[in-house]
Amino acid sequence: MPSSVTALGQARSSGPGMAPSACCCSPAAVQRRLPILAWLPSYSLQWLKMDFVAGLSVGLTAIPQALAYAEVAGLPPQYGLYSAFMGCFVYFFLGTSRDVTLGPTAIMSLLVSFYTFHEPAYAVLLAFLSGCIQLAMGVLRLGFLLDFISYPVIKGFTSAAAVTIGFGQIKNLLGLQNIPRPFFLQVYHTFLRIAETRVGDAVLGLVCMLLLLVLKLMRDHVPPVHPEMPPGVRLSRGLVWAATTARNALVVSFAALVAYSFEVTGYQPFILTGETAEGLPPVRIPPFSVTTANGTISFTEMVQDMGAGLAVVPLMGLLESIAVAKAFASQNNYRIDANQELLAIGLTNMLGSLVSSYPVTGSFGRTAVNAQSGVCTPAGGLVTGVLVLLSLDYLTSLFYYIPKSALAAVIIMAVAPLFDTKIFRTLWRVKRLDLLPLCVTFLLCFWEVQYGILAGALVSLLMLLHSAARPETKVSEGPVLVLQPASGLSFPAVEALRKEILSRALEVSPPRCLVLECTHVCSIDYTVVLGLGELLQDFQKQGVALAFVGLQLPVLRVLLSADLKGFQYFSTLEEAEKHLRQEPGTQPYNIREDSILDQKVALLKA
């Protein structure tokens, strides 16, 4: 890969850390908002060749997946294709990762099915509103809010989504019909009606899964093509690479050909996709109301119906896309701008809603295909977008013959890697407590997605607050007791620190002097100051001393400003211990004659 393409990420590496004085119209600021300007001037013929091959490979993956994901979303198949091209064009201008491809994904399709009641109008409006929220977050530089969703919560959600999506396709794989969509009812009715399995659909679906698995294994084990190889070897490996990369398109085409062969004979053993709306989608504003047989549903009512989806869908869309972008940026040694990614995803969803798209995000599977195909810039997305548009204009009549069991096989094989069994073993080995938010999220997502994510995030937040309220302390016994908070000191932790100090120093006989080692304390608030003041009074009443060591300048400034009675601090632990043992020659720095104190007070006044 040409090394100069790293400019795509490096040009925006400053991102949120940009100097406040930077002019919004300066060349650097314009380049941050239009990342295409970072790589387009140096675009070469070699990059064009690599981008074309990558875009073609992704397009052959995206078309069958788009048809399949529309089924997951509970929408007609053409809506998957409507959602698959806008992100290619928007990301060409605004994207900060050369690898990422935006479009429909399994997880986003599942969320759409939960919150839009299988109504296209709701799905399109959700895309528009999600885009507005994501765009606003990008403009306000709120990308940091995503950091509050912990990794175990994300893994719990994606694993639950993989199970939900995968099991949801069992009915299509077996040719079962009229199975309810709620997960637990789906499980019950699938097993209840397993005897109604259509042999043709089951056999074709399993064959398609087997073919996809074999082609994937071949793709993972075929050595890369090198220029120094003999032409014959290069050609054979290139053909294998092309076939395995476009495996979804090949398998779906094979299944459609089989179904068409049976159709010609007058016997059809498969349930087919059926009619797909032909042509490109019309450009129109999103539906802000819906007319039904029972009257008109207003915009307000539609928003109320979607409820928590207006928070969950844009949030999970951002999380999925930025996680994908960061993973491949780290793998390929460049950087992304999270806030710029918010703008790209938000604008994609807003503009996509004008062409009847449902919410989209970054696809890990197609991004992996893009990276493995040697993509150099986001220009590869243009090829993918054009390919999707051509399929809408010319191939929709052929989609009629695609068996639903073949699309189910594509979906199941696509979501299987999302269920990460290793994460459970890893957390058990590294930190078992992190299994709690993961399991809470995983289990509750089978009930309601928003409750699972909310509960998992809440558990993670409570764990974070508990660690802040009960920080670990390191205690050193000796002639003088030394207590060191292992992390910061904030107001929820004051009472716990006070109790520990009292139990170790003042509630023993005789009372002991204590040194509070504050190297890890970088800031304190007024509640902490009050608590320390009460401690100093308690020590004075018992006739022993409390001394401070390792105070950082911001903390020292606050404590000196509070003018605490009996407050004394030292630069080193040895000096504090000497003073508390009443050895001559050592004085605390609250004595005005000390030159070091004078220097620090001068700094405080500066």
pLDDT computed for residue 293 by the predictor: 82
Question: Which residue(s) pair with 126 in the sheet?
Answer: none
pLDDT computed for residue 21 by the predictor: 40
**Over 90: is that where the pLDDT of 343 sits?**
yes
Q: What is the mean pLDDT of residues 21-37?
A: 75
- Residues with Cβ within 8 Å of 111's Cβ and at least 6 positions away in sequence, in order, are 309, 312, 313, 316, 359, 449
CA atoms within 13 A on the CB side of 457: 17
Residue 574 or residue 352, greater confidence: 352
Give the span between the Cα atoms of 103 and 66, in whole angstroms.
8
Backbone angles phi, psi at 514, to 5 degrees: -140, 140
**Over 80: is that where the pLDDT of 13 sits?**
no
CA atoms within 13 A on the CB side of 193: 19
pLDDT computed for residue 4 by the predictor: 40
- For 442-508, give the secondary structure using H, E and C: HHHCCCCHHHHHHHHHHHHHHHHHHHHHCCCEEEECCCCEEEEECCCCCHHHHHHHHHHHHHHHHCC
**Over 80: is that where the pLDDT of 446 sits?**
yes
Question: Cα dihedral sign for 390, 392, 394, 396?
Answer: positive
**What's this model's pTM, rounded to 2 decimal places?**
0.78
The band of 25, judged by pLDDT with boundaries at 50, 70 and 90, is: low
Render pLDDT for 258-267 as a digit per residue (tens, 0 to 9): 999 999 998 9
Burial (CB < 10 A; 0-12, 13-18, 19+), residue 470, is middle
**Which strand ranges, in their side-by-side order, compose the sheet holding 481-485?**
473-476, 481-485, 514-517, 546-549, 569-570
**Over 60: is that where the pLDDT of 52 sits?**
yes
The band of 23, judged by pLDDT with boundaries at 50, 70 and 90, is: low
**Over 90: is that where the pLDDT of 436 sits?**
yes
Give the span between the Cα atoms of 253 and 224, in whole angstroms.
26
pLDDT computed for residue 63 by the predictor: 95
Question: Cα dihedral sign for 345, 350, 354, 356?
Answer: positive
pLDDT computed for residue 181 by the predictor: 81
Q: What is the mean pLDDT of residues 304-321?
A: 92
Among 342-351, 537-546, 551-560, which range has the highest average pLDDT?
Answer: 342-351
Greatest CA separation found in the chain?
107
Average pLDDT taken over every residue of the chain:
87
pLDDT computed for residue 1 by the predictor: 43
Q: Quick check: 331 and 339 in contact, CB under 8 A?
A: no
Token duo for residue 539 = 């020590």
**Over 50: is that where the pLDDT of 16 sits?**
no
Render pLDDT for 194-236 as a digit per residue (tens, 0 to 9): 999 999 999 999 999 999 999 999 888 877 667 777 878 778 8
- Range name among 81-90, 123-132, 255-264, 444-453 with the lowest pLDDT average: 444-453
The band of 473, judged by pLDDT with boundaries at 50, 70 and 90, is: confident
Token duo for residue 285 = 């504003």
- Residues with Cβ within 8 Å of 190's Cβ and at least 6 positions away in sequence, in order, are 167, 170, 171, 174, 176, 179
Q: What is the mean pLDDT of residues 334-358?
A: 94
Render pLDDT for 517-554 as a digit per residue (tens, 0 to 9): 999 898 899 999 999 999 999 999 999 999 999 999 98
pLDDT computed for residue 602 by the predictor: 54
Give the span between the Cα atoms of 30 and 37, in whole angstroms.
8
Q: Quick check: 446 and 242 in contact, CB under 8 A?
A: no
Omega before 120 within 30 of 0, i.e. cis:
no
Token duo for residue 575 = 């000096």
Render pLDDT for 372-417 as a digit per residue (tens, 0 to 9): 888 999 999 999 999 999 999 999 999 999 999 999 999 999 888 8
